[in-house]
Chain A
Amino acid sequence: MDHSFSIHKRLVVPALLLPVWFVVYHFLQPATDWFIDKLLVLPAGSHFTETLRFFIFELPKVLLLLVLIIFFVGIIRSYFSPEKTRKALEGKSLFAGNIMAASLGIVTPFCSCSAIPLFLGFVEAGIPVGVTFSFLIASPMINEVAVVLLFGLFGWKTTAIYIITGLIIAIVAGWIIGKLKLEKWVQDWVFQARFGNEDAETTKVSFSDRLNSGYNAVREIVGKIWIYVAAGIAVGAGVHGYVPQDFMASLMGKSAWYSVPISVIIGVPMYSNAAGIIPIVSVLIEKGASLGTSLAFMMAVIGLSLPEMIILKKVLKLPFIITFAAILASGIVMIGYLFNIIF
Chain B
Amino acid sequence: MEIKILGTGCPKCRSLEKLTRDVVEKEGLDAEVIKVEDIQEIMKYHVMVTPALVVNENVEMKGRVPSVAELKQVLSKYNTTV
Chain A contacts to B: CB under 8 angstroms: 1-3, 82-83, 86, 109-111, 113-114, 116-118, 120-122, 124, 189, 193, 195-198, 216, 220, 311, 314-315
Contact with A along B17-42 (1 / 0, CB 8 A): 00000000000000000000001101
User: Which B1-17 residues have C-beta < 8 A from chain A?
Assistant: 7-13
Q: Which of A114, A195, A197, A314 has the most CB of B within 10 A?
A: A114
Out of A121, A220, A315, which one reaches B48, CB within 8 Å? A121
Which residue of the partner chain B has the closest CB to A196? B46
Known A82-B48, A113-B12: A120·B63 in contact at CB below 8 Å: no
Instruction: List the B side residues contacting A117 at CB < 8 Å.
Output: 8, 39, 42-43, 47-50
Tell which of B9, B42, B47, B67 touches A1, judged by Cβ atoms closer than 8 Å: B67
Decide yes or no: A195 and B43 within 8 Å by CB, A113-B10, A113-B13, A117-B48 being known contacts: yes
Smallest beta-carbon distance A168→chain B, Å? 26
Asked if B49 contacts A116 (CB within 8 A), the reply is no
Contacts A116-B8, A116-B39, A193-B43 given; indicate if A111 touches B69 (C-beta within 8 A).
no
A314 touches B39 (CB 8 A): yes
Q: CA separation between A62 and B48, bound complex, in Å?
A: 32
Within 8 A of A (CB), among B30-75: 39-40, 42-44, 46-50, 63-65, 67, 69-70, 73
Beyond A113-B10, A195-B44, list 9 extra A-B contacts (CB 8 Å). A3-B70, A82-B49, A109-B63, A114-B48, A117-B48, A117-B50, A120-B39, A195-B46, A197-B46
- Tell me how many residue pairs across A and B have CB atoms closer than 8 Å: 65
- A86 partner residues in chain B, CB cutoff 8 A: 48
5 cross-chain CB contacts under 8 A: A83-B48, A113-B12, A113-B13, A121-B48, A122-B48
Interface residues on B, range: 20 to 34
Q: Which of chain B's residues has its CB closest to A315's CB? A: B39
Closest to A113 in B: B10
**Assembly CA distance A121 to B6 (angstroms):** 15
What's the Cα separation between A189 and B40 when bound, in Å? 9
Verify A114–B49 contact, CB threshold 8 A.
Answer: yes
Enumerate chain A residues within 8 angstroms of B40, measured Cβ to Cβ.
189, 193
A313 nearest CB across to chain B (Å): 12
Q: How far is the CB of B81 from chain A (nearest CB, A)?
A: 23
Q: How far is the CB of B40 from chain A (nearest CB, A)?
A: 6
Chain B residue contacts of A111, Cβ below 8 A? 10, 12, 49, 63
Q: Given the complex of chains A and B, what is the CA–CA distance between A2 and B46 in angstroms?
A: 30
Structural contact, A120 and B10, CB atoms closer than 8 A? no
- Expressed in whole angstroms, the minimum distance between the Cβ of B23 and any Cβ of chain A is 15
Contact of A121 among B7, B43, B73 (CB under 8 A): B43
Measured CB to CB, the closest approach of chain B to A122, in angstroms, equals: 8
Question: CA separation between A337 and B51, bound complex, in Å?
Answer: 40
Interchain residue pairs A-B with the least CB separation, the first 9: A113-B10, A198-B46, A121-B48, A82-B48, A195-B43, A114-B49, A118-B48, A117-B48, A114-B50
In angstroms, how far is the closest chain A Cβ from the Cβ of B59?
Answer: 9
**Cα A83 to Cα B46 with chains together (Å):** 10
| Chain A positions within 8 Å of B67 at CB level | 1
Write out the residue numbers on chain B whose beta carbons fall within 8 Å of the beta carbon of A121: 43, 46, 48
What distance in Å separates the Cβ of B6 from its nearest Cβ neighbour in chain A? Answer: 9
Q: Please state if A3 and B69 are interface contacts (CB–CB under 8 Å).
A: yes
CA distance A118 to B52 in the complex (A): 13
Give the CA-CA distance A197 to B43 in the complex, in Å.
Answer: 10
Task: Determine the chain B residues whose CB is within 8 A of the CB of A196 once the complex forms.
Answer: 46
> Smallest distance from the beta carbon of B74 to chain A beta carbons, Å?
12
Q: Is the CB of A120 within 8 A of B69?
A: no
Q: Which residues of B contact A83 (CB under 8 A)?
A: 48
Which of chain A's residues has its CB closest to B7's CB?
A113
Q: Which residues of A contact B8 (CB under 8 A)?
A: 113, 116-117, 311
Distance between Cα atoms of A83 and B47 in the complex (Å): 9
